[in-house]
């Protein structure tokens, strides 16, 4: 429900079940409350426009109006507070209040009919978050991407001074799960950051910054690009209080998804499962080996119990099969793709379209498919160029970058590849001193130009999988996104991957599928193999990574897993499990409800055996019911009546299905 009630000095706006916005039209500040408790107070908006800091408190005149709105995410009322002053550009604060949604979107807009405005820093919300006398609240740090083995983090408010989070942040209480979610639901123009600074154990200064750069988070070592015009608008900021902050994160992801325009073609097939060569084979990739891997999946494990076939995906160093470089002879790759299809499988390929790995050879080299040099196509930044991961960023708006994309993708389509893994996409989102396209001035605008062009070239011919990439902004362009950085066979790899699932599971609503990277068994223990495999199931899809061209324990382990019909049913909908614990680096317990079935995954990341406690209340089940727990690996049965301790050996995991008795 929504309404707006105006008095001489204040406007009260209702939202959701019991939320209210109180706007003080005398001071230019606002507050949010639920059930009478004010949880955001003394809030205002500010920005740097034409080099001058302006804020909603500093204007002389204010008016209030409201209009209905309707977009892809719903309908409601847009409440507009307009601030004017003869010497300043007009400032408008927009509060988007939806029918029956427990959150609000807030945006900032500046306009001037007489002069051009320029800004790269807008703060729609600056205020004090009040935590209801709870000193145990935690603040979420969400990375901008999944590069450099970065992790999510969650820090107790009482033990930190401040937390900077990319695009979205949350403050929540682990035991009650009560929390607040604040984040940008638009990434097409701006990078945003949520900054929470401790004032006391019960108060946090909160800023939602649009035009945010921080090298450790979003890789930029120069200021955010500026937007100019007679009107400048911020990204919309999602803000809400939730009885369970995890539901708030789900709502944030769904709202973000609704406002995105999908560019990649709709995926209508089963949950994809694949093999990828980077897991173990890596630089040793050759034609003989990849045919043997194909034979293994075609002859030894065949199709999955759930019906779909496997993608055989060549990662980096597929150019070992090329003759004459990117403009040369692709016939061997076509032979491979034809062979894979002849075996009833699907061929996949890899590329990093916005990187120059040979930049040490100098900038005079010609960009394949064009007449320009690499030096001309490199992204220009304040320090010269942007180098990370051993590669130099290429300007995604430069004609030479795009001609190289057109060349390579056309060759891949001619070969008949049905999947592409695209990597190091963050190189395309870097802020630049000047892009080749004069209409582009921010890194996110450049990212959109580059990704639009790439997907246009693919022309709906392939399953599109993103590896290293921006977490939110990549969603319109791909079907699958890897949730973390590279992971291999150890329990540490499992724990690292599940850190991102623990705090980033909500990305499952943005993408068709999120993935836990290639599952490598190699010489790790059987227990570690099971944990690593389950980490993929918990995240949503499975990509195998062992070298099946040679014999090893991994062959038999994989054959065994392909025969576990009940286990594979877990990923039929392709959606991630939800964490139960969100106060540890990686949750030991995850839960999923799918088509009336309930699954629980339990992980022991330690060397020694441990007990993990489950209860009806903690799992969100009927407190008065009893449940049978069936281990999907070996069929053993346990019973849960209110509470049970489950013993798990070191570096191991269990996946159980619950049946109500």
CATH number of the CATH domain containing 95: 2.70.98.60
Among 515, 542, 574, the domain-final residue is: 574
Nearest to 508 by CA among 329, 252, 323, 325: 252
- Asked whether residue 221 falls in the same domain as residue 305, the answer is no
Token couple for 283: 């630089």
Closest-CA residue to 190 (of 253, 233, 141): 233
Predicted pLDDT of residue 159: 82
pLDDT digits (tens, 9 = 90+) for 565-616: 889 999 999 999 999 999 999 999 999 998 889 999 999 999 999 999 999 9
pTM summary value: 0.97
Residue 558 pLDDT class (50, 70, 90 cuts): very high
Residue 264 resides in a domain? no
Segments forming the whole domain that contains residue 605: 579-660
Q: Calculate mean pLDDT across residues 617-641.
A: 91
pLDDT score for 5: 58
> What pLDDT is attached to residue 157?
87
**Residues 463-499: pLDDT tens digits?**
999 999 999 999 999 999 999 999 999 999 999 999 9
Question: Does 178 lie in the same domain as 163?
Answer: yes
Long-range pairs of 138-141 with CB within 8 A, sequence gap ≥ 24: 138/171, 138/172, 138/173, 138/174, 138/582, 138/583, 139/163, 139/165, 139/169, 139/170, 139/171, 139/196, 139/204, 140/165, 140/168, 140/169, 140/170, 140/171, 140/172, 140/503, 141/165, 141/169
Q: What H or E segment, with its residue span, contains residue 644? A: strand 643-648
Q: Roughly how many angstroms between the first and final C-alpha of the chain, as a whole number?
A: 40
pLDDT value of residue 619: 92
Q: Give tens-digit pLDDT for 76-128.
A: 999 999 999 999 999 999 999 999 899 999 999 999 999 999 999 999 999 99
370 in a structural domain: no
Which CATH number covers residue 289?
3.20.20.70
Same domain for 561 and 494?
A: yes
Q: Tokens 């300043």 label which residue?
A: 88
Question: What pLDDT, on a 0 to 100 scale, did the predictor assign at position 2?
Answer: 42
pLDDT tens for each residue of 258-276: 999 999 999 999 999 999 9
Contacts of 575 (CB under 8 A, 6+ apart): 508, 540, 592, 594
Percent of the chain whose predicted confidence (pLDDT) is above 70: 98
* Residue written as token pair 């945003």: 192
Cα(19)–Cα(539) distance, integer angstroms: 34
Asked if 441 contacts 455 with a C-beta cutoff of 8 angstroms, the reply is no
State the Cα–Cα distance between residues 452 and 446, nearest whole angstrom: 10
Distance between CA 212 and CA 234 in Å, rounded? 12
**Do 239 and 329 share a domain, yes or no?**
no
Residue 383: inside a domain = no
**d(C-alpha 135, C-alpha 202), whole Å:** 6
Q: What is the DSSP letter of 301?
A: I
> Within this chain, do residues 328 and 230 fall inside the same structural domain, yes or no?
no
What is the reported pLDDT for 186?
Answer: 98
Q: What is the CATH number of the domain that holds 586?
A: 2.60.40.1180
Alpha helices in 171-295, H assignment, sequence order? 215-218, 245-259, 287-295
Distance CA 641, CA 648 (A): 19
Whether 374 is in a domain gets the answer no
Q: Are residues 421 and 500 in the same domain?
A: yes
Q: Which two tokens stand for residue 606?
A: 């330690």
Q: Are residues 187 and 303 in the same domain?
A: no
Mean pLDDT, the chain, as a whole number? 95
254 CB neighbour count, 10 Å cutoff? 14
Which of 574, 605, 621 is the last residue before a domain boundary? Answer: 574
Classify residue 265: in a domain, yes or no: no
State the pLDDT confidence band at 8, using cuts at 50, 70 and 90. low
pLDDT band for position 32 (cuts 50, 70, 90): very high
Residue 121 shares a structural domain with residue 197:
yes
Please give the average per-residue pLDDT across 616-645, as a whole number. 91
Q: Is residue 590 part of a domain?
A: yes
Does 517 or 595 have the greater pLDDT score?
517
Are 5 and 12 within 8 A, CB to CB? yes
Domain-embedded: residue 368:
no
Give the per-residue pLDDT at 6: 56
Q: Identify the band that residue 623 occupies on the pLDDT scale cut at 50, 70 and 90.
A: confident
By the 10 Å C-beta count (0-12 exposed, 13-18 middle, 19+ buried), 591 is classed as buried
pLDDT at residue 57 in the model:
97
How many domains is the chain partitioned into structurally? Answer: 3
**Domain finish residue from 204, 233, 259:** 259
Q: Quick check: 460 pLDDT over 80?
A: yes
Q: How far is CA 540 from the centre of its chain?
A: 14
Say if residue 278 is in the same domain as residue 421.
yes
Residue 371 lies in a domain: no
Quick one: tokens of 11? 């406007």
214 with 232, same domain?
A: yes
User: Both 56 and 146 in a single domain?
Assistant: yes
User: Do 194 and 329 have their domain in common?
Assistant: no
Report the run of H or E that residue 47 belongs to, with start and end. Answer: strand 37-49
């Amino acid at each position: 429900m929504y309404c707006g009630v105006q008095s001489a000095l204040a406007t009260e706006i209702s939202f959701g079940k019991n939320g209210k916005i109180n706007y003080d039209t005398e001071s230019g500040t606002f507050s949010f409350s639920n059930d009478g408790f004010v949880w955001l107070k003394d809030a205002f908006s500010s920005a740097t426009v034409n080099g001058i800091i302006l804020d909603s408190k500093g204007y002389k005149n204010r008016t209030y109006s409201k209009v209905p709105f309707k977009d892809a995410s719903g309908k409601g009322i847009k409440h507009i507070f307009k601030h004017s002053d003869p010497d300043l550009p007009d400032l408008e604060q927009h509060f988007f209040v939806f029918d029956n949604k427990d959150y609000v979107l807030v945006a900032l807009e500046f306009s001037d009919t007489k002069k051009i405005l320029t800004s790269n820093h807008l703060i729609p919300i600056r205020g004090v978050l009040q935590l209801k006398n709870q000193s145990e609240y935690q603040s979420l740090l969400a990375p901008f991407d999944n590069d450099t083995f970065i992790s999510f983090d969650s820090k107790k408010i009482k033990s930190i001074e401040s937390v900077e989070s990319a695009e979205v942040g949350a403050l929540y209480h682990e035991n009650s799960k009560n929390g607040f979610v604040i984040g940008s639901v638009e990434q097409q123009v701006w990078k945003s950051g949520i900054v929470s600074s401790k004032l006391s154990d019960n108060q946090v200064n909160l800023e939602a910054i649009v035009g945010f750069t921080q090298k450790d988070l979003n890789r930029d070592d120069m200021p955010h690009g500026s937007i100019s015009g007679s009107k400048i608008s911020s990204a919309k900021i999602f803000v809400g209080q939730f009885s369970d902050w995890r539901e708030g994160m789900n709502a944030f992801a769904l709202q973000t998804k609704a406002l995105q325009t999908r560019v990649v073609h709709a995926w209508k097939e089963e949950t994809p499962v694949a093999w990828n060569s980077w897991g173990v084979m890596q630089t040793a990739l050759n034609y003989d080996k990849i045919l043997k891997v194909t034979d293994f999946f075609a002859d030894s494990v065949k199709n999955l119990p759930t019906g779909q076939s496997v993608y055989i995906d060549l990662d980096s160093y597929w150019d070992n099969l090329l003759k004459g470089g990117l403009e040369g002879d692709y016939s061997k790759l076509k032979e491979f793709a034809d062979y894979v299809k002849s075996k009833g499988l699907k061929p996949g390929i890899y590329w990093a379209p916005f990187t120059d790995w040979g930049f040490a050879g100098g900038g005079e080299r010609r960009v394949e498919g064009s007449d320009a040099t690499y030096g001309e196509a490199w992204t220009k930044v304040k320090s010269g160029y942007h180098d990370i991961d051993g590669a130099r960023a290429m300007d995604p708006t430069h004609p030479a970058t795009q001609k190289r994309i057109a060349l390579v993708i056309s060759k891949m389509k001619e070969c008949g590849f049905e999947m592409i893994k695209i990597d190091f996409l963050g190189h395309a989102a870097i802020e630049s001193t000047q892009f080749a396209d004069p209409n582009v001035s921010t890194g996110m605008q450049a990212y959109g130009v580059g990704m639009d062009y790439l997907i246009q070239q693919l022309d709906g011919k392939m399953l599109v999988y993103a590896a290293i990439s921006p977490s939110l902004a990549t969603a319109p362009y791909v079907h699958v996104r890897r949730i973390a950085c590279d992971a291999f066979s150890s329990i540490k790899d499992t724990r690292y991957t599940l850190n991102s699932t623990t705090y980033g599971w909500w990305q499952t609503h943005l993408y068709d599928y999120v993935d836990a990277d290639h599952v490598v068994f190699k010489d790790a223990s059987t227990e570690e193999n099971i944990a690593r495999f389950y980490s993929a199931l918990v995240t949503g899809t499975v990509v195998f990574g062992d070298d099946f061209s040679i014999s090893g324990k991994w062959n038999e382990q994989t054959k065994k897993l392909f025969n576990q019909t009940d286990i594979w049913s877990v990923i039929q909908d392709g959606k991630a499990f939800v964490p139960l614990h969100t106060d540890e680096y990686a949750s030991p317990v995850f839960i999923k409800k799918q088509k009336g079935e309930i699954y629980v995954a339990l992980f022991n990341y330690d060397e020694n055996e441990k007990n993990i406690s489950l209860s009806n209340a903690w799992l969100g089940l009927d407190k008065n019911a009893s449940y049978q727990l069936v281990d999907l690996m070996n069929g053993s049965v346990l019973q849960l009546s209110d509470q049970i301790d489950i013993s798990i050996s070191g570096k191991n995991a269990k996946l159980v299905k619950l049946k109500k008795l």
